[in-house]
Amino acid sequence: MTVSQFVPRPADPGRSTADEDVDVVIVGARCAGAAAAVPLARAGRNVLVLDRVKFPADTLSSHTMLPVGVSELLHMGALPGILALSPTRCRRLRVTVDAETPREMRIEETFTPIEGIDYALSVPRDLHDKVLVDTMRAAGARIRERATVVGLTWQAGRVSGVRYVDEDGRERVVRCRLVMGADGRHSTVARLVGAAEPYRSSANGRAGVVRYLDDQPPDPDEADVVCQWRDGAHLAFGFPGTPIGRYTLFFMGSPAEAAMARRDPDAYWAMKMEHHPGVARRLRHATNMSAFRGTDQLVAYFRPCSGPGWVLIGDSGHFKDPSLGQGMRDAMWAGRHAATAAMRHLDDLDELDLAMRRFEHDRDQECLPAYYFGNGEALLRPTPRPFKAFIESARDDVDRPFTSVGQRIKTPQQLLRSRLVVGGVARTLLVADDRRGFLREMAGEGRVQAAIVRALIHSRTRFRSTIPADGAENDLASAPASVPPAVVATSDDDVPPAGDRPTVVAREAEAVAS
């Protein structure tokens, strides 16, 4: 595998002197950056957070946090501020397949409590992320908004700081022990360290489109239910939102839908109500609808996320299909765990770099099972019959199998080997009109899951594998665009000669992951 190499730029002596020294610079002030900044600042470390926007500021998101995600807000100390926004506390999840047809199937579950939290939340990101910024400041982190990172400084082959342009247009240099990139899919930090090219990637066959509206549920009992509708090849998700009475609707259909929603929103809305009769019935009294926002750029990936003096957290290092509703949780999990690992070793740079390498290993182990499951969800296809068989068997199960996957209590692969799937398959075979076709589907799904299990068992850090369910697995041309990085050294001797510059992977080959 070849990962983008460093492309140095000659040192500029006039810019090599740092304006200030800190322990950690975090680039990005949203979920991952906040989750890293808070514990570091509380531990007494000097933390500087840079973000190119002024908060509050919106960003495209599915907004979903199941209890396992809400618990990350609890760890951060941001939950009281989030609850002060009066969000709906959603305590049930309902999945409906082929709504309002003779084939309709439905499963409804409550959430297993995580650290005493038994509810999901959906908060618009302009409100949510402003609370995170306030939480960081209260913890002692310094935040500079409208600050755009334009380069890195290097010393002895290690990142030693950042260059950024402040809100007044002045260029600043900050020296630090660690740079944490929390700046999203099109990460500047990833580009600058030569890690923008993923080593594992999978194209997404869907677009994501979001709309907000005022909810007037026909049945008051519906007001706290997170809904998922699976109609034909189309997916829709409904989240009672913030403040109480507001609702977030998230569609995942064909890639062309993102452009259609912008070009002709009325026609798009009419089309989606035809695709999802259950949504049309649930929201028939909705008012005050926002404009649509959407994207067809939903490629899933893993990037190298650690190196000498730097680490990538959140979407800057890893992204998965948003239909799983786990992106915000995983970003906060990554920020918290990377910060916890880093704070023990900030005074020993060699140990710090090894700790970040171990974090990368832990990130992969935490996120790979959901990544593979999401790649199957990203295929534009009707709900597979094996999935329907699982719903048929699981609808009355007291162990809440469906939400246990979203909550990371069980992996999708563990669930697919459970008695529920065996029982569902047996019942489906008894009533199936096309038993041979159903068995062929099961055999195909079995081969896919076997390949995933093998990949998980044998997975190594920065290991690349091709799984049939991934659609265009390793289609790196579809990954977020990268450009050659510009690297600024503090002296000409700090960057090795061009012929000797190793790739990110080669430079880390001797690090040992625990």
Q: What is the pLDDT of residues 52-69, one digit of tens each?
A: 999 999 998 988 999 999
State the helix-helix crossing angle for 349-377 and 435-458, rounded to 10 degrees: 180
Q: How many whole angstroms separate alpha carbon 74 and alpha carbon 78?
A: 6
**Cα angle, residue 433 at apex, residues 428 and 436 outer, rounded to 5°:** 80
Q: What string of DSSP letters covers 204-247? A: -S-EEEEEEEE---SSGGGTTEEEEEEETTEEEEEEE-SSTTEE
Q: What is the pLDDT of residues 124-149, one digit of tens each?
A: 999 999 999 999 999 999 999 999 99
* Beta partners for residue 250, in sequence order: 210, 237
3-state secondary structure of 171: strand
Are the C-beta atoms of residues 29 and 38 closer than 8 Å to each other? no
User: Could you tell me the pTM of the whole model?
Assistant: 0.86
Q: Which residues of 272-303 are buried (b: 16+ CB within 10 A; e: fewer)?
A: beebbbbbbebbeebeeeeebbbbbbbbbbbb
C-alpha dihedral sign at 48, 54, 59, 62: positive
Nearest to 149 by CA among 187, 177, 178: 187
Beta carbons within 10 angstroms of residue 501's beta carbon = 17
- Cβ neighbors of 410 (< 8 A, separation 6 or more) are 401, 404
User: For each of the chain's 514 residues, which pLDDT tens digit applies?
Assistant: 333 333 333 333 334 467 899 999 999 999 999 999 999 999 999 999 999 999 999 998 988 999 999 999 999 999 999 999 999 999 999 999 999 999 899 999 999 999 999 999 999 999 999 999 999 999 999 999 999 999 999 999 999 999 999 999 999 999 999 999 999 999 999 999 999 999 999 999 999 999 999 998 878 889 999 999 999 999 999 999 999 999 999 999 999 999 999 999 999 999 999 999 999 999 999 999 999 999 999 999 999 999 999 999 999 999 999 999 999 999 999 999 999 999 999 999 999 999 999 999 999 999 998 998 899 899 999 988 777 877 777 776 667 877 888 898 888 777 766 666 666 667 667 666 777 777 777 777 777 777 777 777 776 677 766 665 444 443 333 444 433 333 333 332 333 323 333 333 333 333 333 3
Are the C-beta atoms of residues 72 and 332 closer than 8 Å to each other? yes
Task: State the virtual CA torsion across 184, 188, 189, 195 in degrees, nearest 10.
Answer: 90
Nearest to 228 by CA among 405, 417, 68: 405
Tracing tokens 């699976």 back to the chain, one arrives at 230
- Cβ neighbors of 303 (< 8 A, separation 6 or more) are 187, 190, 195, 196, 197, 198, 199, 312, 316, 317, 318
Are the C-beta atoms of residues 83 and 65 closer than 8 Å to each other? no
* Beta partners for residue 165, in sequence order: 148, 171
Are the C-beta atoms of residues 129 and 35 closer than 8 Å to each other? no
C-alpha dihedral sign at 5, 9, 10, 13: negative
Nearest to 104 by CA among 250, 233, 230: 230
